[in-house]
Structure 1
Amino acid sequence: MVNSIRGPRRCSAAAALLLSAALSLTACGERRGTDAAPAAPGALPTASPSAAVGASPGAPGASPYVEPGAGDGAPHYGDNNAHRRSGEMSPASAKDARREADRIEPVLKRLWEEGKWDPQSVRSALRPLGYEEEKTGPKGERLGGTLSVREMEPRFQADHYVTPEGTRVGLRVHDDACVTAFVQKTNYQVKTNGPYMESGCFEPPFAH
């Protein structure tokens, strides 16, 4: 009786041990789906989505120095380019500037059609309209007059500056209103705008 009972118990105990060992091995070899794979030696950490290229200003990871509306996203773009923005014209000044632009436009059109775009020809053609040429002092202070006739702005090409043929025109209608124009071989243009902070009626050149 004793032997008939002991044999099955030993088998059951042995089977239980084998099953337990098998379960332990299975659990040890399992990889959970939420665990990250180990990084290779020397590998850089993966960037988080908030640091991705193209993150909008104000989003997590975006540069704190980018100003809203900055032209190219450069730091302090607005402050650095304030001198390139023309001033505001009052409605009355804008109306007066438009009236003078309508007087100047036919003169420049005629000169362009005649192939005359040098400063002397433009100056001579505009004098009959009654404008007095602007005069400035040694420090750039205005000494009277409202009309300024100049060569075209020099442009940097290859390794030197070149002054294209043509003429620029600036007319100070009021302290807050100008007419700016140009005439050259390819075209001519007349427009109205407020004065610029550092260069009066003429738009300041881009720095090279």
Structure 2
Amino acid sequence: MATATAATMASLTGCGEQRHGATAGSATTSPPTASPSSPGASPSGPDASPSGPGASPYVEPGVVDGAPHNGENNAYRRPGDMSPASEEAAQAEAARMQPVLKRLHSKGKWDLESVRAALTGELHYKILKSDSKGKILGGELIVQNMRSRYKNGEYVVPEGTMIGLRVRVDACVTAFVQPTNYEAKANGPFMETGCMEPPVGH
């Protein structure tokens, strides 16, 4: 069973948006890999650097759009490293969670109460509890509504639920289920948000 630590878990990136590579009826159980839109990724490899007239002297190697300090500014969005044993444990929990999310998605049950009930009732995860100072008192699971998004001049909360599960000190499962798709993946904890994938922008 997963154990809790004092890391704070917050919110999931891109909630309410269609994710490329994750479609309804599919889930990911392996750690995320770099893509051209990921911090530190480049279509020509991690050692690529800007060249040619007008190239900024402040551009970091591997930054696709040439944004100065992109890697530094997005360090909080990179998950921590996992030991091989912790990675295996996190992948096993993601695999356990995947069929539950698949069934919830197929039944249109992506609301907070349904997701929480399924994960605690079927998989026996305990809801993470903390005191007023943020100290973890027990449990390993956080289930939250999607983060609000600005749309058509107002903030709206998309349908769906985001999930963070602390498996070990250095291992998590981050997941979500929403009308368009669902996903469960193993990764290390994030610098500021623990087992919940941090938002884009800081």
Normalised to the residue count of structure 1, the TM-score between the two structures is 0.68
1:140 equivalenced with 2:134 (yes/no):
yes
Identity of aligned residues (%): 61
Distance in 2 between the 1:139 and 1:77 partners? 32
Contact 2:50 2:66 survives alignment (8 Å): no
1:95 equivalenced with 2:88 (yes/no):
yes
1:114 equivalenced with 2:112 (yes/no):
no
The worse-fitting range, judged by mean Cα deviation, of 75-84 and 129-138 is: 129-138
Can you list the C-alpha shifts for 1:73-95, whole angstroms capped at 9, x where unaligned? 12211111100111111110010
Amino acid across the alignment from 1:152: M
Match of 1:177 in 2: 171
Superposition map of 1:149-160 within 5 A: 149-160=143-154
In the TM superposition, what is the alpha-carbon distance from 1:180 to its structure 2 partner?
Answer: 1.2
Distance in 1 between the 2:190 and 2:61 partners? 22
Amino acid across the alignment from 1:90: S
Amino acid across the alignment from 2:78: R
**Larger RCO: 1 or 2 (CA < 8 Å, sep 6+):** 2
Contact 1:58 1:64 survives alignment (8 Å): no
Match of 1:74 in 2: 67
Unaligned 5+ runs, structure 1: 1-55
In the TM superposition, what is the alpha-carbon distance from 1:158 to its structure 2 partner?
Answer: 2.8
Can you list the C-alpha shifts for 1:125-144, whole angstroms capped at 9, x where unaligned? 11131211111233433222
In the TM superposition, what is the alpha-carbon distance from 1:194 to its structure 2 partner?
Answer: 0.9
Superposition map of 1:43-62 within 5 A: 57=50, 62=55
Displaced runs of 4+ in structure 1, greater than 6 A?
A: none
Match of 2:157 in 1: 163
Distance 1:59 1:137, change over 3 A: farther
Match of 1:204 in 2: 198
Amino acid across the alignment from 2:201: A
In the TM superposition, what is the alpha-carbon distance from 1:100 to its structure 2 partner?
Answer: 0.8
In the TM superposition, what is the alpha-carbon distance from 1:172 to its structure 2 partner?
Answer: 0.4
SS at match of 1:97: helix
Contact 1:71 1:77 survives alignment (8 Å): no
Match of 1:126 in 2: 119
Number of residues paired by the alignment?
A: 153
Distance in 2 between the 1:58 and 1:105 partners? 44
Distance 1:140 1:63, change over 3 A: same
In the TM superposition, what is the alpha-carbon distance from 1:147 to its structure 2 partner?
Answer: 0.5
Give 1 or 2 for the bigger CA radius of gyration.
Answer: 1
In the TM superposition, what is the alpha-carbon distance from 1:58 to its structure 2 partner?
Answer: 6.2
Contact 1:94 1:192 survives alignment (8 Å): yes
Unaligned 5+ runs, structure 2: 1-48
